[in-house]
Structure 1
């Protein structure tokens, strides 16, 4: 029984990779007036005025000096990392969100790669044991395909994978392990069948998952009540979208290679 001669891209999500036109990738596009009038973001910090860059006045000391953009942002990013603890306080991945905010602060929109993020991505995919998971669908197709009569193509996967459960961090545990706040719904996904070998009816396949998310907030995010009331998202949105701060969002890239085995029953 024959496998494949070259890798097959068997799924590409509707949302494209590297989409810098997405609203959550915009930065520095909103004025103070717009942020206040449209989103109610009058003050997001009790430590510094995010619009005037003035430290909050301590009565005993009188008026505080005006800070630079970088000094103001440093205070706000410190608050972000502190507030992130509400969403990242259990398990091995709690440090990812802190690294993401630090990356936003210093790396000027550069893509983000992280070994631990890849590990979490692989573990999540392998841990989805539902019949509608992408791995389950791929296994079913390979197990039932008639390799003696046909050559396997990407089209043999697409119709079923389009309805499969794509990997995303929406499990209950993701509310407090740091992954929900760091990544949540992965914006773009590509699945590649890298190799498929047979020993009689037994097969071994290597599947590569490539995922990309946007570490940024869009207008729809901040318009939701659950986002607009939480300090972490209020500060984040102002840091990103206020024209005098304009800290760049960026792409978070992740990948996982997973080996599956089974038997063809066609």
Structure 2
């Protein structure tokens, strides 16, 4: 029996990190006809028409009670492509408010939208998301908690006589973790209004490392490091879902990302958190 050499990766999801080939990382690949006919995205904004590059008025805005009263006589002013994009981004900020109205993370989505507007495709990192990620892991006491699953296995198999955790358990530990749910921001209520659900929600890929493990008498302490990565982008199936297609925020996002006249680049959101674990003989 030998002690496990640390730090060591004990689990990685099947979905890869830095997966730029994923469907939700596409941009500028759809034309006007496809957006309208395949995805039913004819009316996406209350302010501007991205297809005709004209501002909307109360008489040609589909959401207005006066729409169509004067047919085409009340056509709005023309805008440039750049101005149209700016107006759509501003509208995204406004329409994101119901999803980001409370708590310390409510401004994260605006930071991410500014990064999206830059369209560099560069990875995104925010210390506030790291803090939220750590809190989610620490506060998860459900049956699906990866942290608690790791803690229980170490508790069960640690050798207190030799003060070691057997190296052969690391592979088994990975299999145990794979049956649990990886950390993500999907609480029934809070994550839907605190800005985390709309900013990250589901974490695309996760890697977990056992960083350290020290045995002292009948007790032990250790550290886990979680690496998470999400995609700030929408794929074809996302926009077809009612929970996305019914809201303007997501319709505008999809058009800004996927319309070949815009093609704003999606990006990877990186998360990291180190959490303490501990246990001992009963």
- Structure 1-normalised TM-score? 0.93
1:188 aligns to what?
205
Look up the match of 2:276: 259
Instruction: Give the distance between the partners of 2:212 and 2:3, measured in 1 at CA.
Output: 8
Q: Measure, in 2, the Cα distance between the counterparts of 1:224 and 1:132.
A: 26
Question: Paired residue for 1:227?
Answer: 244
Pairing of 1:1-266 with structure 2 (within 5 A): 4-57=4-57, 64-147=76-159, 148=162, 151-153=166-168, 154-172=170-188, 173-264=190-281
- Using the TM superposition, name which of 162-171 and 119-128 deviates more: 162-171
Question: Could you say what secondary structure the match of 1:99 adopts?
Answer: helix
Shift of 1:4: 3.9
Distance in 2 (CA, whole Å) between partners of 1:197 and 1:246 is: 51
Residue deviations 1:201-254 (CA, integer Å, cap 9, x gap) = 311101000000000111111111221111111111000000000001100000
Contact 2:149 2:176 in 1 (8 A): yes
RMSD: 2.2
Partner secondary structure for residue 276 of structure 2: strand
What SS does the aligned partner of 2:203 have?
coil
Mapped partners of 1:214, 1:124: distance in 2: 19
Shift of the 150–86 alpha-carbon distance from structure 1 to 2, 3 Å rule, reads closer
The farther-off stretch of 170-179 and 117-126 is 170-179
Q: Residue by residue, what CA displacement relative to the aligned partner does 1:156-214 show, whole Å, maximum 9, x if unpaired?
A: 31111011121011102111111111111100000000111111231110100000000
Q: How many Å apart are 1:146 and its aligned residue? A: 4.4
Residue by residue, what CA displacement relative to the aligned partner does 1:111-141 show, whole Å, maximum 9, x if unpaired? Answer: 1000000000000010101233101111011
Q: CA deviation at 1:46?
A: 2.2
C-alpha contact 2:119 2:264 (8 A) present in aligned 1: no
Q: In terms of mean alpha carbon deviation, does 39-48 or 20-29 score higher? A: 39-48
Q: Which segment drifts farther, 43-52 or 140-149?
A: 140-149
1:152 offset after TM fit, Å? 2.2
C-alpha change, 1:127 and 1:115, in structure 2 (3 Å) is same
SS of 1:156's equivalent in the other structure is helix
Q: Point out where structure 2 has 5 or more consecutive residues left out of the alignment.
A: 60-72
Say which SS state the counterpart of residue 14 (structure 1) adopts: coil
> When the two structures are aligned, how many residues end up with a matched partner?
265
